[in-house]
Amino acid sequence: MITILNRCHRFRGFVYQHAYFSADKKSIEVTVRPRKGSAGVCSRCHLPAPGYDQLAERRFEFIPVWGFLLFLLYTMRRVDCRRCGVVAVEEVPWGDGKRTLTKAYMLFLARWARRLSWKETAEAFRTSWDKVFDAVEHVVTWGLEHRTLGQIDAIGVDEIQYSKGHKYLTLVYQIDLGVIRLLGSAKKEQSSPFGDSSPPWAKKSHQGSSSSAQTCGNPT
């Protein structure tokens, strides 16, 4: 198992130490430790900082292997970041904040959730609907933060019900040039899918927009 992880999911500054079955034989646990001489990375400024102390061991769920759940076990460090002026928990490359799933597993689940329903995805990989939701949310948020919009000539607007009691979510997405991608979303009580301020392209007129209810040309 250590050899496989080193081959396909190796991290600079960290070492896979031991791999063993859990007490109930239903999962594989892999201990991870910092490489000797490597400094922890501040989770605020994303730069190395001197060590301060250690926290309790955390479990990060990884992609299942041969039908076994797989967990990375790591004792988190705290760093004394003089740039930020705080003692902060270190940033680890396989995790995202307080989430219990690894980034690799969230991407894995989100890709399957495009082919199956979220319930079917959860059942297929022996996880929960909430974890599939968390994975999809992580991937969508990352995509929105790193998107490059460029010229947009046509948009689509839809409303979907996300909960009981007539609660709706407005989605705005790009539909021109063979591209279909989410541009923004907002609950019905919010004024805009783009928060307090709309992006420049949303303030300009477009060649066309469409919705599930009607199609309009040259909106202004």
What does the pLDDT read at residue 214? 36
CB contact at 8 A, 88 and 78: yes
Domain regions of the chain by residue span:
2-144, 154-212
The type of residue at 177 is L
Contacts of residue 143, defined as CB under 8 A and 6 or more positions apart, other chains included, come to 182
- 55-66 pLDDT per residue, tens: 999 999 999 998
pTM of the full predicted structure? 0.70
Q: Give the position of tokens 């597993």.
A: 105
Buried-exposed string 55-91: b where 16+ CB fall within 10 A, e elsewhere: eeebebbbbbeeebbbbbebeebbbbbeeeeeebbbb
- 108-154 pLDDT per residue, tens: 999 999 899 989 999 999 899 999 999 998 988 888 787 776 777 78
